[in-house]
Copies of this chain bind each other. A is one copy, B any other.
Amino acid sequence: MKLGRLNHVGVATPSIERSVALYRERMGAEQVGEPFDLPAQGVRVCFVDAPNTQVELIEPLGPDSPIARFLEKNPEGGQHHLCFEVPDIAQARAWFEGQGARVLGDTRIGAHGTPIFFLHPKDMGGVLTEIMESPKQAH
């Protein structure tokens, strides 16, 4: 296991529209993707490009969204997770399980179309950590 690229920082928001305006107008973001729904995860997402990584804006899709509770505690939004890339998701999962780190749920397809899983913050220094297989074109 080798620490990979920080693919993105996940930032929860009550309104992607308002956050996109903030990143464009206040922070000067020039590349912002189209928002899209990930119904299986209960979220709507939108990627903002910085030169070396991305900010993933995450808005709840309905009151049962896994980020609804986060937004109850942090009504204005805030940092939600860090996502690091690995070359092989199955190997990475076996590695973390072998370390006794709690993997949250099944490996599934994430916002970039590659397999991902999440690791419990209590096993990751308080940081909800997403592990994502690098997109193939990146190899």
Contacts and interface: CB of A to CB of B under 8 A. Distances in A.
Interface of A: 1-6, 9, 11-13, 18-19, 22-23, 25-30, 48-53, 74, 76-79, 82, 84, 96, 99, 101, 121-127
**Copies of this chain, how many?**
2
A78 B127 contact: yes
A123 B127 CA distance: 23
B6 A76 contact: no
Contact of A29 (B3, B12, B48, B76): B3
Contact of A126 (B30, B78, B123): B78
Contacts of A22: 124-125
A126 B77 CA distance: 5
A69 to B, nearest CB: 15
Nearest to A15: B125
Contacts of A122: 76
B76 A121 contact: yes
B82 A79 contact: yes
A1 to B, nearest CB: 4
Nearest to A8: B6
